[in-house]
Every structure is written in C-alpha cells, then in structure tokens.
Amino acid sequence: MTTSPTLTLSKLSCTKGGRQLFKDLDCTLQAGCWLYVAGANGVGKTSLLRMLCGLAQVESGEILWNNTPIAAQHDSYRQDLCYLGHLNALQESMSVQENLMFTSALGGVALAEQKAKSVLERFGLRGRSQQLVRHLSQGQKRRVALSRLALSPARLWVLDEPYVAMDEAGIQMLSDLIASHLDKGGLAVLTSHQRVPVGAHPAQLLELKAP
C-alpha cells in the first residue's frame, strides 16, 4: 500500500447529449492536496466527478490512481474512494445510527456504536443517533452525510457541492474536516459555487470551459 497516493487525469473528454463538455483534460493531484473544479452551471463538473468515481463511463482518456488505471483496479480503488453527491444516501425510515452502520458496512468496515455517537457529537448531532432520518431537517441530514465522510477510511474524497443546504457552522465543520483529512495525507476533489477556504491548504484549480 503506497503511503503517498496520487490521482492523475489524462486526456479526459466527455460528450453528453451530443454536446462536447470538455476535451483532453490533464491534471495530477498529490497526497495532501485538494482539487477545486470550477466552471459555470452545466459545464460538466458533476459528469467529471462521476467519471472519477467510476459511475459514468469514460469516453476517451484515462483516470489513474497511484499510476494504475482505475479500470484495472475496481475493488481496491473503491476501497479508497468516498463520494458525496447531491443526494444524502440516507434511508428515511431508518435511524441515523442504522444508516451510518450500513454505509460503513458497505465500505467494508464494522462501525462501533460508540464511535458513531462520538462522530455525531462532533457534528452537533448529539443525542440524535436513534432518531429517524425523516425527522431531521435538511441541514441536519447533510451533517449526517458528513459524518459518513468522517467515518470513512477512504483516502480520496469526491464531493459534489457539499456546502449546499449548510449553515455557517456546518460550512466551518466541513472545511475543518477536509483540512484534517488533507493533513493526514488524503486527497479531495470538490465542486462548489462558494469559494470556501480549507484550512491552510491552497486549492489546485481545474477550470472547466466549453471548448
């Protein structure tokens, strides 16, 4: 297991609905750094992030994790990947605790009840672990999704507009979370309409423009 992972995008192109979104994208992200994907609405930011996760097919070009194409290392890449998209991935009829334990299990890790409680407390959700998700507010649901991030052992975080529906305190919590993740040698790829500083880490900028 390499101690210093890298993410490389090589000549990545994407077409959607007949329109060329972006072409020949090249980029390298080192451990401890984060990538800020910028661009107007509809320029292909979500498509790029979904390609990084392997959810969308890569039309041409390659994505490399530790210099190996992700197509050649499905399972181990997913072990190292945590994705937070527009949806929270929370089952409304289940409690916060049950949801966290399930998503943790999906990632291959058994979650101890105590650990779940301490993480929830960190995100201002103390005492809510047994509450059903449908009784939480939008912002609180988002914070549960953040707890999922905090509990994940993944080294690459792919976050699609994570600051949406968050209050100031939540935004600060998330930035601190990402900063500590980067401090530990992790990587992050982020899109956002708000330019939020992440601790002392400067952003590596990837600007998407229609060709």
Q: Rule CB under 8 A: which residues touch other proteins?
A: 1, 17-19, 50, 53-57, 75-76, 78-79, 81, 83, 85-94, 98, 101-103, 105-112, 153
Minimum distance of other proteins from residue 98's CB (angstroms): 7
Bridge-based pairing of strands 60-65 and 34-38 is unpaired
Minimum distance of other proteins from residue 113's CB (angstroms): 12
Residue number, 1 or 200, with CB nearest to other proteins: 1
Residue number, 86 or 135, with CB nearest to other proteins: 86
d(CA 70, CA 74): 6
Minimum distance of other proteins from residue 53's CB (angstroms): 6
Give the torsion sign (CA, 117, 122, 123, 128). Answer: positive
H helix or E strand, kind and range, residue 64: strand 60-65
Residue number, 88 or 198, with CB nearest to other proteins: 88
For the beta sheet containing 34-38, the strands, ordered from the edge strand earlier in sequence to the opposite edge, are 81-84, 156-160, 187-191, 34-38, 203-207
Minimum distance of other proteins from residue 203's CB (angstroms): 25
Structure tokens given for 178: 């990402």
Residue number, 104 or 192, with CB nearest to other proteins: 104
